[in-house]
Structure 1
Amino acid sequence: MRETIIAIVGPTAVGKTELSIEIAKRFNGEVISGDSMQVYKGMDIGTAKISSEEMQGVPHHLLDIKEPDEAYSAADFKVHVQRLVKEISDKGRLPIIVGGSGLYIQAALFDYNFPDIKRDEELTEQLEKQAQEEGIEEIYERLQQVDPKQAEKIHPNNHRRVIRALEIYETSGKPKSEWELEQTVETPYNVIFIGLEMDRTELYEQINHRVDFMLEKGLLDEVKSLYNHGFKDTQAMRAIGYKEFIPYLEGKQTLEEAVEQLKQNSRRYAKRQYTWFRNKLAIDWYAVSPSSRREKFKMIFDKLAGILKMK
């Protein structure tokens, strides 16, 4: 019998965390974080990581499992989720995945078979050196030539993904986009997708307020601490909420410019998240607003009660 999973998705700052707690309390659930950055220790404020008090006694998984200088991938996430879904289900409880990292969630729930291509450290180092000396544009142009479909999905400034995509082609002789075409579109689970969306103007206001709140809570000190511990060039520090402050810490930007950049990047990311989920997965969407949230949540609870009763 297939395990039932609730997956709560949508853009940043839309209310996913609050909904996940209430669903977990009503339906005997445990939460699995579907955020690729919340796995890192010491990265709490900038990732909007849930606090112990906010958990309200609900068990949470995949938080604080990595040091900031350790790598973490969608393939790692898939392995962790498969194990956790079985463990939670075997206890008679309901697994609830919540987050905005679309690729991670899709990879775990649709049983992606990641190409078993070991990293070529020498090639990676060579590409990284070239990117530093000649600019990432040269590497990105090479990727456009050998794998234009994959290049379309990656922002040129995302050095890690650009280099990895080119490395896969150079190592295997097959573009990453072809590997992805071989993936299954079936899920081994009974997944109930719940998507939260919000009017764009309201969502952008929520995002701006969230950034201001993060700064009040000490985001700048959190970034400084990570920077001073030597994590500047890690995968983790390239995350939105952290990378924007590095130019400020190095005297290349004012704090006001860094904060505005963070707000802008967060708004753009929310737009990309929403587009990604809309295009990739069959999701029941609920339009929420600060004033209608409780009403929409009740609709979701009622619908889940009917679905889960039939299982």
Structure 2
Amino acid sequence: MKKPLVIIVGPTGVGKTDLSIEIAKKMDGEIVSADSMQIYKHMDIGSAKPSIEEQDHIPHYLMDEIDPREEFSVAQYQKKAKAYIEKILLSGKLPIIVGGTGLYVNSIIYNIDFTATISNWNLRKQLEEEAHKYGNKYIHDKLRNIDSEAAERIHPNNLKRVIRALEVYYEGGEKIKDFQESLTENPAYQYAMIGLIRDRKELYERINLRVDLMIQQGLIEEVKNLMASGLDTDAISMKGLGYKEIIRYLKGDYSLEAAVEIIKRDTRRYAKRQITWFKRYDQIQWFDVGAYEEKKVFLHDITNFIEGKLNLL
């Protein structure tokens, strides 16, 4: 018998956290985060981590667990997330995966064997340094020369995926496969996947306001404390939106006003990429948050979808 699982995805700032807590309370669930920044300790403001009060007594896993000075991979996430899912199911609760990191979601719903995945941290660092020195297009052109199909699929500004494609080729001599071609669904789970969306203008306004609020709440001080612990832009945890830009501001690379505008711009771009990513999931059911005037109707529709999909009636 397949194990029931709720998955809530969508772009940053759309309202995933609020919904997940409401659904957890309504359906006796517990939450497993699928956010590559919220997983780190001491990174509360920039990752928009819900406070203890906001979590409202709902257990949250894979949030605030990893030291930001440590490397943390998708393979590690997959192992930990699956263990937490089992723990939640054994306690008679409903596991709810919530977040906007597509690779984390993939590691749960698809059969991906990370034991065969090769990682070359030195190569990654070298390519990142080249991108910083010569620009993202320089690295993207390297990919185009060896794998034109991947270069067509991956935007030059999606540096992490460009570097990963180069790493796969350099280490194994293989071309990185397309999303749909290389993945088979994990038969262990019966899942209900909810995608949250808003009108683009409304979403972008929410993102801009969220960035302003982060600055007001003390993001600069948070980054100063992280830097005092030895972290810099070369750490994986510091590559998240909001962190690398504030580090560069503190180093004098640009003004605070410029840093804030860059964070807003790049967060809007990231949200657009997230929507594109999640639209590729066949099983996803989209809900337009802004189309609902009443919260109870919104929750009712989503609860009905989950119950129907997972046969929980």
- 1:174 corresponds in structure 2 to 174
Q: Distance in 2 between matches of 1:304 and 1:164?
A: 35
- 1:51 corresponds in structure 2 to 51
Q: Distance in 2 between matches of 1:239 and 1:293?
A: 34
1:203–1:179 distance in 2 versus 1, CA, 3 Å: closer
Q: Is the 8 A contact 2:35 2:99 kept in 1?
A: yes
**Is 187-196 or 293-302 further displaced after alignment?**
293-302
- 1:239 corresponds in structure 2 to 240
1:14–1:224 distance in 2 versus 1, CA, 3 Å: same
1:123 CA drift (Å): 4.8
| Aligned-partner SS, 2:279 | helix
Q: Distance in 2 between matches of 1:180 and 1:71?
A: 28
Q: Distance in 2 between matches of 1:227 and 1:293?
A: 43
1:11–1:126 distance in 2 versus 1, CA, 3 Å: closer
- 1:259 corresponds in structure 2 to 260
Q: Distance in 2 between matches of 1:127 and 1:291?
A: 45
**Is 119-128 or 136-145 further displaced after alignment?**
119-128
1:257–1:130 distance in 2 versus 1, CA, 3 Å: closer
Q: Distance in 1 between matches of 2:21 and 2:146?
A: 45
1:33 CA drift (Å): 0.2
**Aligned-residue CA RMSD in angstroms?**
2.5
- State the one-letter code of the partner of 1:288: V
Using structure 2 for the length normalisation, give the TM-score.
0.89
- State the one-letter code of the partner of 2:236: Q
1:25 CA drift (Å): 0.9
1:261 CA drift (Å): 0.9
- 1:214 corresponds in structure 2 to 214
1:59 CA drift (Å): 0.6
1:214–1:26 distance in 2 versus 1, CA, 3 Å: same
| Aligned-partner SS, 1:5 | strand
- 1:277 corresponds in structure 2 to 278
**Is 29-38 or 223-232 further displaced after alignment?**
223-232
1:110 CA drift (Å): 1.4
Q: Distance in 1 between matches of 2:121 and 2:47?
A: 29
Q: Distance in 2 between matches of 1:130 and 1:208?
A: 30
- 1:298 corresponds in structure 2 to 300
- 2:42 corresponds in structure 1 to 42
Q: Is the 8 A contact 1:115 1:179 kept in 2?
A: no
- 1:13 corresponds in structure 2 to 13
1:5 CA drift (Å): 0.4
**Is 87-96 or 142-151 further displaced after alignment?**
142-151
Matched, 1:223 2:223: yes
Q: Is the 8 A contact 2:109 2:185 kept in 1?
A: no
For 1:1-311, list aligned pairs within 5 A.
1-114=1-114, 116-120=116-120, 123=123, 127=127, 137-157=137-157, 159-177=159-177, 181-232=181-232, 233-289=234-290, 292=293, 294=295, 295-308=297-310, 310=312
Question: How many pairs align?
Answer: 311
The runs of 5 or more residues in structure 2 that have no matched partner are: none
- State the one-letter code of the partner of 1:112: I
- The one-character-per-residue Cα deviations of 1:269-306 (angstroms, maximum 9, x if unpaired) are 11111111112342111111286260322221233345
Q: Distance in 2 between matches of 1:58 and 1:78?
A: 22
1:141 CA drift (Å): 1.9
Q: Distance in 1 between matches of 2:36 and 2:130?
A: 27
The runs of 5 or more residues in structure 1 that have no matched partner are: none
Q: Distance in 1 between matches of 2:134 and 2:212?
A: 37
Identical counterparts, % of pairs: 44
1:74 CA drift (Å): 2.1
1:51 CA drift (Å): 1.1
**Is 255-264 or 288-297 further displaced after alignment?**
288-297
1:140 CA drift (Å): 2.9
1:150 CA drift (Å): 3.1
Q: Distance in 2 between matches of 1:267 and 1:129?
A: 25
Q: Is the 8 A contact 2:23 2:299 kept in 1?
A: no
1:36 CA drift (Å): 1.0
